[in-house]
Amino acid sequence: MNAAPITGQGPLAIICGGGTLPLAVADAVTARGRAVVLFPLRGAAEGTAVERFTHHWVHIGQIGKFMRLARAAGCRDVVFIGALVRPSVWQTRPDLGGLMMLPRALAAFRGGDNHLISGMGRLLEQEGFRLLGAHEVAPEILIPQGVMGRVAPSPRDDADIALALDYLAAAGPFDIGQAVVVASRHIIAVEAIEGTDLMLERVAGLRANRRLRAPVGTGVLVKAPKPGQDRRFDLPTMGPQTVDNAALAGLAGIAVIAAATIAAQPSELVRAADRAGLFVIGVPDRTAP
Amino acid sequence: MNAAPITGQGPLAIICGGGTLPLAVADAVTARGRAVVLFPLRGAAEGTAVERFTHHWVHIGQIGKFMRLARAAGCRDVVFIGALVRPSVWQTRPDLGGLMMLPRALAAFRGGDNHLISGMGRLLEQEGFRLLGAHEVAPEILIPQGVMGRVAPSPRDDADIALALDYLAAAGPFDIGQAVVVASRHIIAVEAIEGTDLMLERVAGLRANRRLRAPVGTGVLVKAPKPGQDRRFDLPTMGPQTVDNAALAGLAGIAVIAAATIAAQPSELVRAADRAGLFVIGVPDRTAP
Please give the Cα distance from A269 to B99 (Å, whole number).
Answer: 48
Question: For residue B167, how many C-alpha atoms fall within 13 Å in the half-sphere facing its CB?
Answer: 32
Radius of gyration of chain B (CA): 20
Q: Which region among A143-147, B62-66, B222-226, B267-271 has the lowest average model confidence (pLDDT)?
A: B62-66
Contact A193 B170 (CB under 8 A): no
Per DSSP, B4 falls in state: P
Contact A87 B210 (CB under 8 A): yes
Chain A positions in Cβ-Cβ contact with residue B167 (cut-off 8 Å): 171, 174, 176
**Which one of B180, B184, B187 would you mutate to disrupt binding with A, by most A Cβ within 10 Å of its Cβ?**
B187
Name the pLDDT band for B9 (thresholds 50, 70, 90): confident
Contact B213 A170 (CB under 8 A): no
CA distance B5 to chain A (A): 36
Contact B174 A187 (CB under 8 A): yes
Name the pLDDT band for A94 (thresholds 50, 70, 90): very low
Residue of A nearest to B189 (CA): A192
pLDDT mean over B74-87: 71
Please give the Cα distance from B195 to B198 (Å, whole number).
Answer: 6
Residues of A within an 8 Å Cβ radius of B:
87, 90-91, 163, 166-167, 170-171, 173-176, 181, 186-195, 198, 202, 206, 210-213
pLDDT mean over A219-227: 91
CB contact set of B289 (below 8 Å; sequence gap of 6+): none
Closest CA to A18 of A283, A195, A175: A195
Per DSSP, B124 falls in state: H
Please give the Cα distance from A249 to A219 (Å, whole number).
Answer: 9
Please give the Cα distance from A248 to A240 (Å, whole number).
Answer: 12
In DSSP notation, B226-251 reads -TT--TTT---EE-HHHHHHHHHTT-
CB contact set of A54 (below 8 Å; sequence gap of 6+): A11, A35, A36, A37, A38, A73
pLDDT at B100 exceeding the cut of 50? no
> Maximum distance among all alpha carbons in chain B?
61
CB atoms within 10 A of CB B164: 26
Q: Which region among A19-33, B2-16, B205-219 has the lowest average model confidence (pLDDT)?
A: B2-16
Please give the Cα distance from A232 to A262 (Å, whole number).
Answer: 12
Please give the Cα distance from B182 to A176 (Å, whole number).
Answer: 11
Contact A193 B173 (CB under 8 A): no
The three-class DSSP label of residue B286 is: coil
pLDDT mean over A173-185: 89
Please give the Cα distance from B197 to A210 (Å, whole number).
Answer: 16
Chain A positions in Cβ-Cβ contact with residue B215 (cut-off 8 Å): none
Q: Cα A38 vs. chain centroid, distance in angstroms?
A: 17
Chain A positions in Cβ-Cβ contact with residue B187 (cut-off 8 Å): 174-176, 192-193
Contact A213 B173 (CB under 8 A): no
A-B interface: how many C-beta pairs under 8 angstroms? 80
pTM of the model: 0.75
CA distance B124 to chain A (A): 33
Calculate what percentage of chain A has a pLDDT beyond 90.
47
- The pLDDT value recorded for residue A61 is 65
Buried b (16+ CB within 10 A) or exposed e, B116-154: bbeebbeebeeeebebbbbbebbbbbbbbeebbbebebe
Q: What ipTM, to 2 d.p.?
A: 0.73
CA torsion angle B124 B102 B137 B228 (round to 10): -140
Please give the Cα distance from B216 to A208 (Å, whole number).
Answer: 32
Task: Say if CB A37 and CB A75 are below 8 A apart.
Answer: yes
In DSSP notation, A96-158 reads HHTT-SSTTHHHHHHHT-HHHHHHHHHHHHHTT-EEE-HHHH-GGGBPPSEE-SS----HHHH
Contact A206 B187 (CB under 8 A): no
Q: Which region among A115-124, A206-215, B24-33, B146-155 has the lowest average model confidence (pLDDT)?
A: A115-124
Pick from B174, B189, B193: which is nearest to A167 by CB?
A: B174
Contact A87 B212 (CB under 8 A): yes
What are the pLDDT digits (tens) for A11-36?
999 988 777 778 888 998 999 899 99
Pick from A163, A174, A198: which is nearest to B187 by CB?
A: A174
Contact B188 A187 (CB under 8 A): no
What are the pLDDT digits (tens) for B126-164?
888 988 877 788 888 889 999 999 999 999 999 999 999
Residue of B nearest to A92 (CA): B213
| CA distances (Å), origin B175, targets A163, A189, A196, A250, B178 | 11, 12, 21, 22, 8
Residue of A nearest to B192 (CA): A189
Chain A positions in Cβ-Cβ contact with residue B193 (cut-off 8 Å): 186-189, 206, 211-212
Task: Say if CB B135 and CB B25 are below 8 A apart.
Answer: no
Task: Say if CB A145 and CB A283 are below 8 A apart.
Answer: yes
Q: Which residue has the higher pLDDT, B289 or B88?
A: B289
In DSSP notation, A223-259 reads E---TT--TTT---EE-HHHHHHHHHTT-SEEEEETT
Q: Which residue has the higher pLDDT, B120 or B42?
A: B42
Q: Which residue has the higher pLDDT, B167 or A235?
A: B167
Task: Say if CB A222 and CB A164 are below 8 A apart.
Answer: yes
Task: Say if CB B46 and CB B18 are below 8 A apart.
Answer: yes
Please give the Cα distance from B176 to B189 (Å, whole number).
Answer: 13
**Which amino acid type is present at position A139?**
P
Closest CA to B260 of B226, B212, B211: B226
